[in-house]
Amino acid sequence: MKQSLQMLLRDWRAGELRVLAMALVVAVASITSVAFFADRVGRALVRDAHQLLGADLVLVSDHAWQPGIAQEIANRGLNSARATTFISMAIAGENSVLAGVKAVSGNYPLRGRLRIAPAVNAPDGPALAGPRPGTVWIEERLVTALSAPVGSRIKLGASSFEIAAILTLEPERGANFFNIAPRLFMNVDDVAATGLVQTGSRVWHYLYAAGAPEKIVALEAWAKGRMARGQRVENLESGRPEVRGAIERAQRFLGLTALLAAILAGVAIALGTRRFVERHLDGCAVMRCFGATQNRLLLLFGGEFVLLGLAGCALGTVIGFVAQFFIAEILGGLLRADLPAVSMLPALQGFLVGLVLLLGFALPPLVQLKNVPAVRVIRRESGATSGSAFAVYAAGLVSLSGLLIWHGRCRAGRDRGGRFRRGGRVVRGDSLVGFALFLREFLFKKDRKEKSLFALWPRQPAPACARQRDSGGEPRSRAHRGPAPDVHAQRPRGCLAAQFPAGCAQPLSARRPARPARGSEVLLYQPRHRDPGAQPHGARPPGFREQQEDR
Amino acid sequence: MDNSKKTILSARGIGKTVKSGSSDLVILREIDLSVTAGDAVAVVGASGSGKSTLLAILAGLDTPSIGSVEVDGADLFGLDEDQRAELRGKSVGFVFQSFQLLPSLSALENVMLPLELAGRADAEAMSREILARVGLGERLSHYPKHLSGGEQQRVALARAFSVRPKLLFADEPTGSLDAAAGSGVIDLIFELNRSYGTTLVMVTHDENLAQRCGRIVRLVAGQIAGK
C-alpha cells in the first residue's frame, strides 16, 4: 500500500490522475447532492403525507372500539389519539345548520397541525392542542350561516359550547360526502354530555397511532388480524390514495435524476480510466522488464485506485453535502415546505456509489493493464490483450445495477414505513432498463463507429494491405484515415470481424457511397413506371399512390 | 562481484517463426549462443536480421518458437511469465534505444523504480549514489522531458545498473543519440560494466561500438554468420 500511495502521489503530481479524480469528485458530488436533496424531499413528502392522515396509522370503526385496541397501541410505545365524527345540527339562536362534527382528544392530530384564527379574516396560526372541554372551533362558513362569531355560544344536542376559534385548516380532511358539511371541532370528552351518540347513530370512531416506522408496521399487521365487522385499518395508501400518486411520481423523478448522475459518473470514470491506461502501457511494460509480476502490478494500480477512490469520494461527499444546501435554498420557493434535517445515509450511499463506480469501471481496464507484455519495450506495437469489450464493461454494468437494486431496496425499505413500496420498485425497474438502453445506444453504437469507449488500447498500425496501398501512391481517402486493425495483433472484439473483410482497413459501413459527378442527375424518386417523361409537369407519376401506400 | 568464467547465458537451438498471412515468416533459426560471465558481446546485423528479437528472447521478454535459454542457470522458458519477471528483477538490467523512462517520474524516481520493485529499503540512497556516478547528481528532481537525450540515456543506465544486474541487455543504446552524446554513453556503459562486473549483451548497428566488445555475433537473415 505504501508503494501504491507513492505511485498515487507521483501520478497526481504528473497530472495523470486529475481528469479521473475530477470525474470522480464531480460524480460523487452530483450523486450525493441529489441523494441528500432527494432524501430530504422524500422524507418531507412522507412527513407531510402523514400530516394529511393526521397520524402514521388510523384505525376506523363504525362502532365503539373494544378496549384492548387502544391499550395495545400504548403498550407498543406509540402515541395515540382518538376522534369521533358524526353529522349533527348546530344551533345558535334562531339559526341552525347541519355540521360535520369531529370530537377529538387533546393531542389530536399526531402528525401535522390544525390551524385556527381568533376571528374571521384574522391571521391564523397552528393550534398546539385540540379544543378544550366546553369549547368548539368552527369553520368560517358556519360562522356565517349561524351568525355566531367567536365568543358566542352554540348548541349541540343537549349541551352548549363556547366558540373559541375559527378553524382555518384541517389537513386530514378529504373530499367525500360527509365532509361537505362545515366542520365543527369539539373535545371528545364532551360527546357523551350532548346525548347525540346513541345506539344506531351514524358515528365513526377513530384511533390514531404514530411512532417509529417498524412499530407502525408491526401494529398494522397486528391490528389487521383483529378487525371486526365495520372496522378497518387505514394508511396513506388506503386512506389518502390521491396523495400516493403524487409522492410516487416525485420519488421516481428524483430517483431518475440520481440515476442520470450515476450513469454520467460511470461514463466519466470509464473515459478517465481509458486515458490513464493508455498513458501507462509503456510504464507497465518497463516495470515488467524490471521484475514486476502481474499480481504486483495489479496490487499497485488497484491500491492506487482504491486510495484515489477514498480521497475522491470523501471530497465529493463533502462537496455534495454543501451543494445540497444551495439546491434546497434555490428550490425552497418552489417546495414551500420545511425540509427535514440532513441524514447521513445519502452520504454513505454517495461514497459507496463512487467507490463501486470507480472500481467497477476502472478495475477491468486495470486488470488488463497487468497483461501488458514486457516485449512492448522493444516492439511498441505489442499491446495488451484487450479481451472482450463487453466483459470489460460488464463489471461496471453489474456494479451499477447492483447499486440501483440496493438503492431501490433502501428506498423500498424506507417507503415501507410510509406505505410507498410500489414507488421504489418502479424506479428500480426504470433505472435498470434505462441504463441498459443507455449502454446499448451510446457505448455499443459508438463502438461500431470505432469511437468507442471500449477502444482501450492505442490503435495498431495499419495492416500490410493498407501500407501497400499507401506505398503504391494511391492517395488515402478520408474514409481510410481511421484506425485500422492489425492482422498480427488482437483487436477488441467489439470491432466486428464481419466489418473488416480481408484487405479492408475500414468497416464497410463507414465507406461513403460514391458522390455523383457535378451535373449528373440525382434521382430522389424512382417511379415504378420507367417512362416518367410521358407525365406532364406537376402530375403524380405512376406508382406514386402505391408507394405512398407501401409506406 | 564474481567474475569467474562460468556461463551466465546460454541459448540452444533458438528459432522464431511468426505467421504472416497464410505463410510463415522465419525470423530466427538455429541460434546457439553461450556467453561467459563478465563478457561483453555485441550482436550486429542489418535491419530485419532478427537482432532485437534475439535480444528479447535472450532476456525472456519474448518466447521462441523452438529452443531454450538459460540465464544464470535457470531455464528461462521453463518458468512462467511471473517467474521470468522475478528473475529479470534480480539478475537482468536493460538499456533501450528509446530510453523508456517513465515521463511522470523524476530522474531519481526512475532509478528508484527497480529497487522499489525489488523491495529495497535503501532505494533512494542507492539511486542518488549511482546518479551521481553517471554525472547527474545535480539533476535528481528533473523529469525526462527536461533532460537531453544523452542525459536521459544516462538515467536509463543508472536505472539498469542500480540493481547490480549480472546481465545487462542493451538494445541500440546510442541509436537515438548524436555522436558526442553516444560516445559518452558508451564510455559510461563500459566503465560501469567493468566496475560492476556485469555481463553485457548489446545489439547495435555501429561497427565501431561492436569492436569495443570482446566478442561480436553477426546475424544474417536470422542466423549467426560469425562468432
Taking the C-alpha atoms of residue A387 and residue A493, their distance in angstroms, rounded to an integer, is: 7
> Does residue A382 register a pLDDT over 70?
no
- For residues A22 and A121, state if they share a domain: no
Cross-chain Cβ contact B18/A488 below 8 Å: yes
Q: Determine which helix (DSSP H) or strand (DSSP E) holds A340, and give its type and residue range.
A: none
Instruction: Give the domain-ending residue among A448, A469, A491.
Output: A448
> Does residue A469 register a pLDDT over 90?
no
Q: Which domain holds residue A126?
A: 57-234
- For residues A143 and A291, state if they share a domain: no
Q: If you average pLDDT over residues A194-201, what whole number do you get?
A: 85
Q: What distance, in Å, lies between the first and last C-alpha atoms of chain A?
A: 65
Query: Looking at the domain assignment, is residue A489 inside a domain?
Result: no
- For residues A301 and A340, state if they share a domain: yes
- For residues A155 and A22, state if they share a domain: no
Query: Looking at the domain assignment, is residue A469 inside a domain?
Result: no
- How do the pLDDT tens digits run along chain B, 227 residues long? 444 578 889 999 999 998 877 788 888 988 999 999 888 999 998 888 888 899 999 988 888 999 999 998 889 888 888 898 888 888 898 888 888 898 888 999 999 999 988 888 888 999 999 999 888 888 898 999 899 888 999 999 999 999 889 999 998 888 777 877 888 888 888 888 888 888 999 998 888 888 888 899 998 988 888 54
Q: Total domain count for chain A?
A: 2
> Which residues in chain A are contacts of B100 at CB distance < 8 A?
282, 285-286, 289, 377
> Does residue A185 register a pLDDT over 90?
yes
- A56, A46 contact by CB (below 8 A): no
Cross-chain Cβ contact B117/A291 below 8 Å: yes
- Among residues A451, A443, A458, A442, the alpha carbon closest in space to that of A491 is found at A458
Name the residue among B62, B102, B109 with its Cβ closest to that of A286.
B102
Cross-chain Cβ contact A3/B171 below 8 Å: no
β-pair type (B66-71, B223-226): unpaired
Q: Would you state the torsion angle of the CA atoms of residues B124, B125, B130, B132, taken in this order, to the nearest 10 degrees?
A: 100
Name the residue among A11, A282, A374 with its Cβ closest to that of B61.
A374
Query: Looking at the domain assignment, is residue A343 inside a domain?
Result: yes
Taking the C-alpha atoms of residue A111 and residue A171, their distance in angstroms, rounded to an integer, is: 9
Q: Which of A60-69, A298-307, A525-534 has the lowest mean pLDDT?
A: A525-534
Residue of B nearest to A382 (CA): B62
> Which residues in chain B are contacts of A377 at CB distance < 8 A?
61, 94, 96, 100
Query: Looking at the domain assignment, is residue A159 inside a domain?
Result: yes
Taking the C-alpha atoms of residue A64 and residue A70, their distance in angstroms, rounded to an integer, is: 11
Q: Total domain count for chain B?
A: 1
Cross-chain Cβ contact A288/B116 below 8 Å: no
- For residues A365 and A280, state if they share a domain: yes
- Place A404 in a pLDDT band, splitting at 50, 70 and 90: low
What Rg value do the Cα atoms of chain B yield, rounded?
17
d(CA A444, nearest CA chain B) in Å: 30
CA angle in degrees (0–180, nearest 5) for A133-A136-A138: 165
Q: Determine which helix (DSSP H) or strand (DSSP E) holds B168, and give its type and residue range.
A: strand B167-171
Query: Looking at the domain assignment, is residue B86 inside a domain?
Result: yes
Query: Looking at the domain assignment, is residue A532 inside a domain?
Result: no
Q: If you average pLDDT over residues A188-206, what whole number do you get?
A: 88
Taking the C-alpha atoms of residue A275 and residue B108, their distance in angstroms, rounded to an integer, is: 25
Q: What pLDDT, on a 0 to 100 scale, did the predictor assign at position A173?
A: 67
Query: Looking at the domain assignment, is residue A465 inside a domain?
Result: no
Q: What pLDDT, on a 0 to 100 scale, did the predictor assign at position A188?
A: 92
Query: Looking at the domain assignment, is residue B111 inside a domain?
Result: yes
- For residues A178 and A296, state if they share a domain: no
Greatest mean pLDDT range, A36-50, A142-156, A234-248: A142-156
- Among residues A200, A120, A213, A203, the alpha carbon closest in space to that of A166 is found at A120
> Which residues in chain A are contacts of B21 at CB distance < 8 A?
464, 487
- For residues A148 and A270, state if they share a domain: no
Higher pLDDT, A447 or A306: A306
- A282-294 in b/e burial notation, b at 16+ Cβ within 10 A? bbbbbbbbbbbbb
Query: Looking at the domain assignment, is residue B2 inside a domain?
Result: no
Query: Looking at the domain assignment, is residue A496 inside a domain?
Result: no
Q: What pLDDT, on a 0 to 100 scale, did the predictor assign at position A174?
A: 55
HEC profile of A480-498: HCCCCCCCCCCCCCCCCHH
Residue of A nearest to B113 (CA): A287
Query: Looking at the domain assignment, is residue B1 inside a domain?
Result: no
Q: Which domain holds residue B114?
A: 7-226
- For residues A276 and A401, state if they share a domain: yes
Instruction: Kindly report the CATH number assigned to the domain that includes residue B127.
Output: 3.40.50.300
d(CA B145, nearest CA chain A) in Å: 12
- For residues A208 and A344, state if they share a domain: no
Determine how many CB atoms are found less than 10 A away from the CB of residue A132.
14
Query: Looking at the domain assignment, is residue A521 inside a domain?
Result: no
Q: What pLDDT, on a 0 to 100 scale, did the predictor assign at position A240?
A: 58
- CB of B102 less than 8 A from some CB of A: yes
Residue of B nearest to A290 (CA): B89
- A499, A523 contact by CB (below 8 A): no
Q: What pLDDT, on a 0 to 100 scale, did the predictor assign at position A180?
A: 73
Cross-chain Cβ contact A288/B85 below 8 Å: yes
- For residues A249 and A149, state if they share a domain: no
| Local structure of A292: helix, strand or coil | coil
- CB of B12 less than 8 A from some CB of A: no
Grid cell, residue A243, equals 396523495
Q: If you average pLDDT over residues A402-420, what whole number do you get?
A: 54
d(CA B113, nearest CA chain A) in Å: 8
Cross-chain Cβ contact B103/A14 below 8 Å: yes
Taking the C-alpha atoms of residue A218 and residue A252, their distance in angstroms, rounded to an integer, is: 27
Residue among A278, A290, A381 with most chain B CBs within 10 A, to mutate: A290
> Does residue A92 register a pLDDT over 60?
yes
Residue-wise pLDDT tens digits, A2-44: 888 888 888 888 787 888 888 888 888 888 887 788 778 777 7
- For residues A131 and A44, state if they share a domain: no
DSSP A374: G
Taking the C-alpha atoms of residue B146 and residue B134, their distance in angstroms, rounded to an integer, is: 17
- For residues A165 and A264, state if they share a domain: no
Q: Could you tell me how many CB contacts below 8 A there are between chain A and chain B? A: 81
Higher pLDDT, A89 or A392: A89
Q: Determine which helix (DSSP H) or strand (DSSP E) holds A140, and give its type and residue range.
A: helix A140-146
